[in-house]
Amino acid sequence: MTDATLLQSVLDTQPHAIVERDGVRYTLLGTAHVSQASVDAVRDAIGSGTFDAVAVELDAPRLQALTDPDALARLDLIEVIRTGKTALFAANLALAAYQRRLAEQLGIEPGAELKRAVMEARQRELPVHLIDRDVGLTFKRASHRLGWWSRAKLGGGLLTALFVDEEVGHDEIEKLKQGDMLESSFGEFASDSPELYDTVIAERDRYMAARLRESHGPAREVLAVVGAGHLQGMARHLREEVRPAEAIREELEALPKKSDIPWFTIVLSVFVLGGFAWGFWRGGLDVGSDLLLQWVLATGVLGAIGCAIAGGHPLSILVAFIASPITPLHPALASGTLSALTEAWIRKPTYADFMALRDDVQHWRGWWRNRVARVLLNFFLTSLGTAIGVWTGGLRMLGKLVG
């Protein structure tokens, strides 16, 4: 079979689009992320010798996760917590757990065709371009566009994915065959939320089309291996977009600027500290001390209980108790962060903990057995306990003030 015939046989059986622009011919090959046929199609397309560059629907962290299983073991967990990336780390872990369930159920690694594209291109010494947006940026942009309740639902869904050990449903598998790993990992929530769908799917169509235009270099025949769900959107943007590719990429990488003024913390601090002052002024030492004690007990005890439920070390529980009454009044501190840092410092995760992490989180007992998972539990449950304590203590204080 000639090279041209081999390529044509692939295109005859796989979703694809061909776009010529600025002297470059882009062949977009639509794949299913859980299909051996897609793996074979990628192999044959690159093996045809037609292309002088290959682009894939991956970012650097996802490629590393596919090609370097030991990368997780080299992670500095304390640095992750210290820099405020704990929630993102948990979201990535949820995605990995979902992919693991798919691999065990279907007998093929999700994204195997993307991995094969990179391997085949490297074997033939072809340039490889990673055109997808960093998954962390996608999560952050999605979070910024959602309301408080929607963010809570999204976080709850991701955490549920970490604990659930059931088979992936038929509808989710069919969605994967049509197209996108991130969308399917969010389940029904993506289809019910226009903001999330736009960030996870539509924005990435524009982003990957812009990256193709920006990164092709001297290549004139480029194969882009992408999920079938992105095929039509990317082809349309490649044909019709007139704005500079760099400007589009920068726009879709930007995060909404947070207010420099922490209004919620300020309001809460004024309410709590003002309540203490009012209690001491109007009721004397007894009333003021009672208000202060109720706030400390409500936040400190519930934060410590959250840490204890997570299996925290006694010193981590003590840190949670001390930090929980204070951190809600400080914009740069969080009780969950402080207790999790303490836990990671005292019970430093081992290489074996990192290597077993994806397997351990498939069962609820593994969360308490694995030191990495237990630190994450510490962070979330301490934070949750403190948040409940803030509302409980605040309502009690309000009742005293108006009573």
Measure the CA–CA gap between 312 and 297, rounded to whole angstroms: 19
> 98-104 long-range contacts, Cβ below 8 Å, gap at least 24?
98/161, 98/168, 98/185, 99/181, 100/358, 100/359, 100/362, 101/165, 101/167, 101/168, 101/362, 102/34, 102/168, 102/173, 102/176
Which range among 141-150, 265-274, 352-361 has the greatest average pLDDT?
Answer: 265-274
Measure the CA–CA gap between 22 and 220, rounded to whole angstroms: 9
Confidence of residue 309 (pLDDT cuts 50, 70, 90): very high
Q: pLDDT tens across 151-191, in order?
A: 666 666 666 655 555 555 555 555 555 555 565 555 555 55
pLDDT surpasses 80 at 75: no
Q: Specify the 3-state DSSP secondary structure of 225.
A: strand
Q: pLDDT tens across 383-399, in order?
A: 999 999 999 988 888 88
Q: What is the pLDDT of residue 175?
A: 57
Measure the CA–CA gap between 25 and 6, rounded to whole angstroms: 18
CA 312 vs CA 63, 219, 345, 377: distances in Å: 34, 55, 12, 9
Work out the mean pLDDT of the chain and round it to a whole number.
Answer: 82
Measure the CA–CA gap between 384 and 87, rounded to whole angstroms: 13
Of 188 and 367, the one with more pLDDT: 367
- And the tokens for 130? 């990673």
Measure the CA–CA gap between 326 and 55, rounded to whole angstroms: 49
- And the tokens for 139? 């999560």
In 10 A of CB 156, how many CB atoms?
11
- And the tokens for 273? 């500290």
Measure the CA–CA gap between 368 and 162, rounded to whole angstroms: 13
DSSP letters, 327-347, are GGG-TT--HHHHHHHHHHHHT
For residues 311 and 368, is the Cβ–Cβ distance under 8 A? yes
Confidence of residue 79 (pLDDT cuts 50, 70, 90): confident
As a whole number, mean pLDDT of residues 120-128 equals 94
As a whole number, mean pLDDT of residues 46-71 equals 86
For 106, counting Cβ atoms within 10 Å of its Cβ (0-12 exposed, 13-18 middle, 19+ buried), the class is: middle
Burial 225-258 (b: 16+ CB within 10 A, else e): bbbbbbbebbbebbeeeeeebeebbeebeeeeee
Q: pLDDT tens across 137-158, in order?
A: 888 888 777 766 666 666 666 6
Measure the CA–CA gap between 94 and 99, rounded to whole angstroms: 9
167 conformational bin, left if phi > 0, alpha if psi -120 to 50, beta if neither: beta
